Amino acid sequence: MKLLVIGSGGREHALAWRLAQSNRVQTVYVAPGNGGTANAERVQNLDITDIPALVEFATREKIGFTVVGPEAPLAAGVVDAFRLAGLKIFGPTQAAAQLESSKDYAKAFMVRHNIPTAAYQTFTDAQAAKDYIRQQGAPIVVKADGLAAGKGVIVATTLEEALQAIDDILDDGMFGQAGARVVVEECLVGEEASFIVMCDGKNVLPMATSQDHKRLKDHDLGPNTGGMGAYSPAPIVSPTLHNRIMREVIQPTMNGMAKEGLPYSGFLYAGVMIGDGPDATRPIKVLEYNCRMGDPETQPIMMRVKSDLVDVFEAALAGRLDQATIEWDRRTAIGVVLAAHGYPENPRTGDTITQLAQDTTECITFHAGTNILDGNLQTTGGRVLCVTAMSDSIRRAQEAAYRAIAQTHFDGKQFRTDIGWRAIPNAES
Ligand code: AMP
Ligand code: GLY
């Protein structure tokens, strides 16, 4: 059968790569894909991004099913359009995708359904927002309501920073319509984990656990990014915490969406902040929902999938996720992002990738911001590559990833040298 993956990042490369390994698959089309998917076996790029053209392509080519990678097409209603045309697609409807596309919607939803999250208020008026910030004090978090390509969250350590964020977003329109409203919320402390599940409207199948590194620099310093590296499993998510996140976050989210007439299907990603204490009682609070898999979390997660993913997606599309399982490789996978010069503020494009490590079964370079131009592999975006390695310990996986990175080159490459650090004391204790 033929499949379609929508998107162009490392997440989509990893999904397409894993799907293409199913012996039931003839071709995985990636729209629009990148320089890595252009060269992958049984994977083909498709130069379209507009929804009507994708519907037309999927109909004409009798695509078995479509998987949506990023949030923008979900928020634009790609799932609604495919379903209307009688096509199978895995993802939430536009209305259900508001869990990600509007932070105010997500916060109000969590309050309605008693899902633990940071205390907050939403504002359209800058003066009212500033009064609230002064009253609460710093640190405090300011978030643009809408989608802002991962840049809409300001974790302000000082009052001035928070007030400046209000000026930028509400008065100066830094994020346009996405910043017409802002959510101001309590700053949470603890350790973050990415809890990603597949949903079919009723049933939930958890993916392997993972953790991302949001800050640009080693030791979690520097600006927030889309994610500089990730690993799976996340040792912090013990079986007790896993059960609690399912019970306290995922199930109430599914039930709440169904009750409100928006049964949720697709990937659901709860970013959770885990506070201190014994696992049975330590606080778990939702930082955000994403209506998709994480990038770069997907890369190590896909590396660990041992089952035929096509069967799993088919079960999801048939509402039979309760009967599906995914077998995970017990080893640890780690993905290290190589970003372009100037990322995240002002990434430079057009650098030639002069050297890539040889892919093996245990180490693969997934591409994100790359393209082939006149036969040359070039950088086209902020996060360029994600070198992903798997081994029997986090340390060995880390060593393998960094060995491959030493064989990878483009001008201006930036990467963290400490991906996985949080997992090391935990995994070895
Ligand atoms: P979001 O897009 O809402 O996940 O925010 C991006 C990142 O900002 C998160 O992954 C956290 O690292 C940080 N963040 C968001 N909300 C909070 C909060 N209430 N307290 C502390 N950090 C936060
Ligand atoms: N890596 C975080 C995200 O995909 O939102």
Q: What pLDDT does residue 429 have?
A: 45
User: In the beta sheet, which residues pair with residue 232?
Assistant: 333
Instruction: Say if residues 258 and 264 touch (Cβ distance below 8 Å).
Output: yes
Q: What pLDDT does residue 426 have?
A: 54
As for ligand 2, residues whose beta carbon falls within 6 Å of it are: 212, 226-227, 290, 294-295, 297
Nearest CA to ligand 2 atom 2: 294
67 lines ligand 1 (CB under 6 A): no
Select from 139, 113, 115, 134 the least CA-distant residue to 123: 134
Best substitution site from 143, 194, 213, 273 to test ligand 2's pocket, by max atoms within 8 Å of Cβ? Answer: 194
Best substitution site from 212, 214, 289 to test ligand 2's pocket, by max atoms within 8 Å of Cβ? Answer: 212
Provide the token pair at 260.
């409100």
Provide the token pair at 222.
């520097």
Give the pLDDT confidence of 345-400 residue by residue, as tens digits: 999 999 999 999 999 999 999 999 999 999 999 999 899 999 999 999 999 999 99
The H or E element containing residue 16 is helix 10-19
- Write down the architecture of domain 2-93 according to CATH: 3-Layer(aba) Sandwich (3.40)
Q: What pLDDT does residue 271 have?
A: 97
Q: The domain 125-180: what is its CATH number?
A: 3.30.1490.20
pTM score, whole prediction: 0.96
Residue 45 CA to ligand 1 centre (angstroms): 33
224 lines ligand 1 (CB under 6 A): yes
Nearest CA to ligand 2 atom 3: 294
Provide the token pair at 220.
């979690």
Residue 263 CA to ligand 2 centre (angstroms): 23
| Residue ranges of domains in the chain | 2-93, 125-180, 191-323, 332-423
Q: Does domain 191-323 have CATH number 3.30.470.20?
A: yes
CATH classification (class only), 332-423: alpha beta
The H or E element containing residue 371 is strand 370-373
- Sheet arrangement for strand 191-200: 204-206, 191-200, 265-274, 284-290
Best substitution site from 297, 336, 383, 386 to test ligand 2's pocket, by max atoms within 8 Å of Cβ? Answer: 297
Q: What is the DSSP string of 166-233?
A: HIIIIIS-TTGGGGSSEEEEEPP-SEEEEEEEEEESS-EEEPPPBEE--EEEGGGEEEE-S-SEEEES
Nearest CA to ligand 2 atom 5: 294
- Tell me which residues of the chain have a pLDDT lower than 70: 425-429
